[in-house]
Structure 1
């Protein structure tokens, strides 16, 4: 929408309407008709689990947004090769994994998750705010530390959000809650590509008149800027420096719009932590996950379940 077709085009409106209607119908089916729903509505009636799912969605959007556009910044603005952009991205990639482990260890020792989530999204907001300072002359040490600061925030959410979700639910819902958590994370990854791309492409199109070269304008227009970045390293020396500086400026303006989007979502995440309640994190597991010993079902049906015997819902 807004790039290939206008937002008023039926080619844009129809898929959105069908998607919303399909989403509503799916949840109505899960709530009223499904005998064993894959997305039980009771998971969202709990305050802490509902807040946790929102944080899971936001964190996946923020992680994927940064991971999707940082390599393009390295190639289009800094003029690196595709290989070098991958190397420049290593602080973000490795830092995310390390900080996920740190977050899990901190939560297991402290027994809390809300303070970790507040600090995580606050650091994410600072990181995206610093990303708005990225330019063609930004030194390596600066953008490397910006990356690390970003993952200091978002990394711990990978390992600390799911335990917070499960803390407010009975252990019989662990399997369903974990499956929904995976879906929400994946759903966030989809939005992290589509919405920022629309923002980026729209801003690039708006600023393209500043590029005096008609051929470059046509290659950057209507979503072409993302793919064009991989050619920037080889093409820049062949283009007039004044013209290329305008191309870089267009990219920087587009990236800034994406970083501001990330900053706004990070702030939403900070306030969304208030939805969560401070619950005790269980250290014991007492559930049969739907398993049932032979003979218990017959006793349960006949009302002769003996003392000391336990049963759970059969699957």
Structure 2
């Protein structure tokens, strides 16, 4: 009897305890709900998620605009289609420079003359007259009328004056002798341009009067020229390039950084392997162009060619790096 009573009491006590626990839990939930409802709304609670989503969207949008091309990098050499022509002093003498440094000159223009050997302008006028291919009987009246303009011809003055003292007058023979003398005078006492282009004197200190040694190169004339790039690729790289592909040309600056000097495109790929590599030729349509460091595009300049294999953006580059990695064997 006592056992049954104990069981009934235990059940009643357990029920009372559970009811009290349920009331206590309900009360705590009610207090927590009231606390949440009583809290003041702030900026973080309202906009935090939206700000995070906006930042992620801006990062993705920016990554789609940032270019991150895939390159093949190779050493290259710039080649000019027209090479500079040298100006050589034929005789050891003192010259008066007639053209300033880096000036544009035309073919046949006088660059320098030896002073005290006659008036070079009169000699050049006489040369032009003799080269006009007029017959001696046509040349005689012209020289007669203009001989007073040729009174400072230097060592060829006597030969010129003798032409008018002969009874036979000007003949084909003495005209030829005068032409030879004029050509000899020009070769000996002047420096002339052999082509059109920009003149650069090869001297340490540029003065109006300079002494040159015999058979020495005293200047160079850089003609207007087209330029192209020559580089060599091995057979593994060759499969990733094609004609028309864009190429960036860069050189090392004094700080060691790469400096872009021109852009071009592949216009020819060699069909024959040479020493294990294939020659690739890149046209440079912009040609001769100065840049801020003071260097310029010129023949023989060693540089680096960046062949753009895939002109992708940063987002595509990240995607390819994660999902398109080459599988290891």
What TM-score range do you get, normalising by the shorter chain? under 0.3
**Bigger Rg over Cα:** 2
Q: TM-score, normalized by length of structure 2?
A: 0.20
Write 1 or 2 for the structure with the bigger share of helix: 1
